[in-house]
Structure 1
Amino acid sequence: MSTGRRYMASVLRRLAVPATLIPLSVPVGLYAFAKLNPEKTTAYAKPVFLWLCAKLKTFHQERFCVLKEDVFSGLKKQDGRNLQVLEIGPGKGANFEYFPPRTSVIAVDPNIEFAQELEENSKQYPDVKVTKFVVAGAEDMSAVAEGSVDAVVCTLALCSVQDVDAVLGEVKRVLKPGGKFYYFEHVRHPSRTRTQYLQQLFNPVFYSLGGGCNLTRETWKNIDKAGFSDVKYKMEDNVRPKFIFHMLYGTATK
């Protein structure tokens, strides 16, 4: 090897360590700050964190739409004139485009402040009517009668509920016989060890800043043991960052 090449190799070796450590220091520093100063982290970092999560969802919107088209394909084919759908955590009504015309919707969310925002945004879907807004956690939907809805919809919400099994019990209770539960959630990767490690590492940050969001839930196991007569689901990991967006989606029939 020539003197010039040996010199360049030596320089690159010296730069390799700082070039690796500097990018790593940012997430490590944020993680340490969040662990040591939870109150300050919530006050200063939470708005930025939620903005970043919203941007990530927007970035993947096209891919999410493809997956949701698959999830809701059976629902869209139904006659909406007599269709009663209950949606858990409807947000701004982003799923309304997948509901058939004339669908009636019961919205369930613990935050009453979302009611007005939902009403405003749902105007772009005039063929879908929100008939009731229930202020409650999905673990206790006692304001909704047993066996009264044709379908329950839940997207990107089971990650942050307090008790997944209790929610699924309520889903079964409010569904009519033969009614379907449509779900679209991010979950713990079922097999990839590296991804599981990253999810476990970052879970405290997402939980504290993301409104109780969990990266490590194995939601498919909860659905499997919930007592539905038929469960169908798929998984999708072609969404970045992969340690967040390992998607579980499908249907469960009462």
Structure 2
Amino acid sequence: MASLLRRLARPAVLLPVGVPLGLYTFAKLNPDAATAYYKRAFAWGCARSMDFSEKKLTELKQDVFAGLREQGTGALQVLEIGVGGGNNFRYYPPGTSVIAVDPNPHFDQYLKENSDKYPDVKVTKFIVAGAEDMSGVAEGSVDAVVCTLVLCSVQDMDASIREVKRVLKPGGKFYYLEHVRHPTNGRAQFMQDLLTPVFRVLSDGCHVNRETWKHLEGAGFTEVKYRIEGNLRPKFMTQILYGTATK
């Protein structure tokens, strides 16, 4: 027993065991403080890994946002859901005005930093809100809505899409790029179902097994176009749905 206690007292054992246990205890005893710290840390991590994560998706984003550039004849009013640090600004046409929506208030500072890189894109408003309730945005007021890698984390997919339709002008377009459930491979689907609870905890509520295309098809848009790209690694996890939906 004494030998076991000495072994457990070693830092190599105490750190892997003690840190998660300490964080769990802190979260249980101080849920509001834990949430505030987590949101701040999540914003910092996303901002620091922005360029790395963009490399895998650049070609797909260039494809889907080509329509945004064609639509942008003159001043374009875009609402971006889950704007984060403004990673998508590089794809916006010059003269674009952006209403930035994100439930995490700590992205605001990184958004300001990134805005300096793209002076032709102007953020006119930053709204702290989830996609399910964007009541701070007027009905039929924007030309386009952009959403990338966000619908996996919303609490209510259908409510979020209804809000997208509400704020779009008639004929306006919804541009989206999301990782989704594998459409056909049963083994991949099993792994996604197995790992979703882990991702929900570690990645701000992310579900890697959502069939997002079904929600878009049933939302009442006049036209829905999409493709699913499955050649990114890891293939069983990285199924990317991208396209447009027109009001």
Note whether the superposition's TM-score is higher than 0.5. Answer: yes
| Equivalent in the alignment of 1:199 | 192
Identity %: 61
Within a 5 Å distance, the mapping from 1:72-151 to structure 2 comes to: 72-79=65-72, 81-151=74-144
Q: Name which one, 1 or 2, has greater alpha-carbon Rg.
A: 1
Native 8 Å contact 2:153 2:204 kept in 1: yes
Rounded to whole Å, the distance in 2 between the matches of 1:184 and 1:213 is 14
TM-score, normalised by the number of residues in structure 2 = 0.80
- 4+ runs of 1 displaced by more than 2 Å? 36-43, 57-63, 77-82
Deviation of the 1:244 alpha carbon = 2.4
| Equivalent in the alignment of 2:145 | 152
Rounded to whole Å, the distance in 2 between the matches of 1:113 and 1:60 is 19
Deviations 1:135-174 (A, max 9, x none): 1111000110000000000000000010010000000000
Is 239-248 or 169-178 further displaced after alignment? Answer: 239-248
| Matched residue type, 2:199 | F
Deviation of the 1:77 alpha carbon = 2.3
Counterparts in 2 of 1:133 and 1:51: CA distance versus 1, 3 Å: closer
| Equivalent in the alignment of 2:227 | 234
Native 8 Å contact 2:142 2:167 kept in 1: yes
Deviations 1:4-25 (A, max 9, x none): xxxxxxxxxxxxxxxxxxxxxx
Deviation of the 1:125 alpha carbon = 0.3
TM-score, normalised by the number of residues in structure 1 = 0.78
Deviation of the 1:58 alpha carbon = 5.3
Rounded to whole Å, the distance in 2 between the matches of 1:113 and 1:161 is 18
Q: For 2:130, what is the secondary structure of its paired residue? A: coil
Q: Runs of 5+ in structure 2 lacking a partner?
A: 1-15, 28-33
Deviations 1:47-94 (A, max 9, x none): 79x969x86x75563341100011011111233532100000111111
Native 8 Å contact 1:179 1:253 kept in 2: yes
Rounded to whole Å, the distance in 2 between the matches of 1:79 and 1:167 is 24
Native 8 Å contact 1:106 1:131 kept in 2: yes
Native 8 Å contact 1:80 1:101 kept in 2: no
